[in-house]
Amino acid sequence: MSLRALLYRRPSEPAVVQVVFDKAIYLVRLRRHRQARRYTLRIDAAAREVVLTMPPRGSLKEAKEFAQKHGGWIAARLKRLPAAAPFAHGVEIPLRGEPHRIVNRRGVRGTVWTETDDAGNRLLCVAGEPPHVDRRTSDFLKREAQRDLEAASRRYAAELGVAITRICVRDQSSRWGSCSNTGVLSFSWRLILAPSFVLDYLAAHEVCHLVELNHSLRFWRLVKRLYPDVERAKVWLDVHGTDLHRYGLCAQRGTGDI
Ligand SMILES: [Zn+2]
pLDDT digit string (tens) for 203-254? 999 999 999 999 999 999 999 999 999 999 999 999 999 889 889 876 444 4
| pTM beyond 0.85, yes or no | no
The CA distance from 130 to 86, in Å, is 12
Number of helical (H) and strand (E) elements in the chain, helices listed first? 7, 12
> Coil, helix or strand for 172?
coil
How many angstroms is it from 167 CA to the middle of ligand 1?
A: 15
How many angstroms is it from 214 CA to the middle of ligand 1?
A: 7
How many angstroms is it from 229 CA to the middle of ligand 1?
A: 16
Q: What mean pLDDT is predicted for residues 158-187? A: 93
Buried/exposed code over 84-119 (b: 16+ C-beta within 10 A; e: otherwise): bbbbbeebebbbbeeebebbbbeeeeeebeeeeeee
Could you tell me if 85 and 244 are in contact, meaning their C-beta atoms sit under 8 angstroms apart?
no
How many angstroms is it from 209 CA to the middle of ligand 1?
A: 7
- Domain segments of the chain: what residues? 3-81, 92-246
Fold that domain 92-246 belongs to in CATH: Zincin-like (3.30.2010)
The CA distance from 47 to 250, in Å, is 12
How many angstroms is it from 205 CA to the middle of ligand 1?
A: 6
How many angstroms is it from 105 CA to the middle of ligand 1?
A: 41
How many angstroms is it from 99 CA to the middle of ligand 1?
A: 29
How many angstroms is it from 67 CA to the middle of ligand 1?
A: 35
Q: Is it the case that residue 137 has pLDDT exceeding 60?
A: yes
How many angstroms is it from 215 CA to the middle of ligand 1?
A: 6
Model confidence pLDDT, tens digit, residues 35-77: 999 999 999 877 788 999 999 999 999 999 999 999 999 999 9
How many angstroms is it from 77 CA to the middle of ligand 1?
A: 30
How many angstroms is it from 177 CA to the middle of ligand 1?
A: 8
Model confidence pLDDT, tens digit, residues 98-123: 999 999 999 888 899 999 999 999 99
φ, ψ at 42 (rounded to 5°): -150, 160
How many angstroms is it from 176 CA to the middle of ligand 1?
A: 9
49-54 vs 40-44, strand pairing mode: antiparallel
How many angstroms is it from 179 CA to the middle of ligand 1?
A: 8
How many angstroms is it from 168 CA to the middle of ligand 1?
A: 16
How many angstroms is it from 166 CA to the middle of ligand 1?
A: 17
Confidence of residue 8 (pLDDT cuts 50, 70, 90): low
* Rg (the chain; Cα; Å): 21
Residues found in the chain? 258
